[in-house]
Structure 1
């Protein structure tokens, strides 16, 4: 039950952090491209790679904290559903190049960020 509560609390925190960061990025970069969601997903993947290594290799005994952070905070923070609807909207608006750029950028940057996070986590 403690894990469920940690996940719920972490999810709430992650969702609010996503809203704040995404909104801030959109005020800087505009709304012509889903920069906010892309930024959130890349940073979330970087954090996931880094923290996964720390929690599995270094802090494996604290399953409540691991669940709260990895499933809760980062699950609430990253935004695949937002990515999907924004990409769909770009396609529907006829901005197919932007949609493909968003899909390719998300795939390459998020997997790359996860990889970098794992490398950084292993060096700690």
Structure 2
């Protein structure tokens, strides 16, 4: 039960952080969902970083790892919004922006996670 509480608490914090980033006055002017893009890249980097730190370097209780990795990072990042925004861009005829967003999110997300692991390692 304690594990569920820690995941929920981390998700609460991560979701609020995502909401606050969503309030930032960022706009590319071409429909590119920059806020979701940045949120997911930051989350991928953070999860990569935390996975190495919590796995090798830092000795913390497993509940703290659940709070940070599953809760905070899971609550902060958003695949569903990524999928919705991608489909909306396609439906609205912005195929080029949609492809850049989808491919960029995947490639740069993996690279961000690898960078986080490398920095932590």
Q: Normalization by structure 1: what TM-score? A: 0.92
What does 1:1-124 align with in structure 2 at a 5 Å threshold?
Answer: 1-24=1-24, 27-30=25-28, 32-122=31-121
Distance in structure 1 (CA, Å) of the matches to 2:112 and 2:76: 15
Alignment size in residue pairs: 120
Between 56-65 and 78-87, the greater mean CA deviation after superposition: 56-65
Q: Normalization by structure 2: what TM-score? A: 0.94
Q: Which runs of no fewer than 5 residues in structure 1 stay unpaired? A: none
Q: Is the 8 A contact 2:49 2:119 kept in 1?
A: yes
Q: Secondary structure at the match of 1:28?
A: coil
Distance in structure 1 (CA, Å) of the matches to 2:23 and 2:106: 22
Q: Deviations over 1:32-67 (max 9, x none)?
A: 210000000000001011011011112355100000
Displacement of 1:3: 1.1
Distance in structure 1 (CA, Å) of the matches to 2:16 and 2:60: 28
Displacement of 1:70: 0.2
Q: Deviations over 1:71-113 (max 9, x none)?
A: 0000000010000000000001010111101001101111000
Q: Is the 8 A contact 1:22 1:39 kept in 2?
A: no
Q: Which runs of no fewer than 5 residues in structure 2 stay unpaired? A: none
Is the helix fraction higher in 1 or 2? 1
Q: Secondary structure at the match of 1:29?
A: coil
Aligned CA-pair RMSD: 1.2
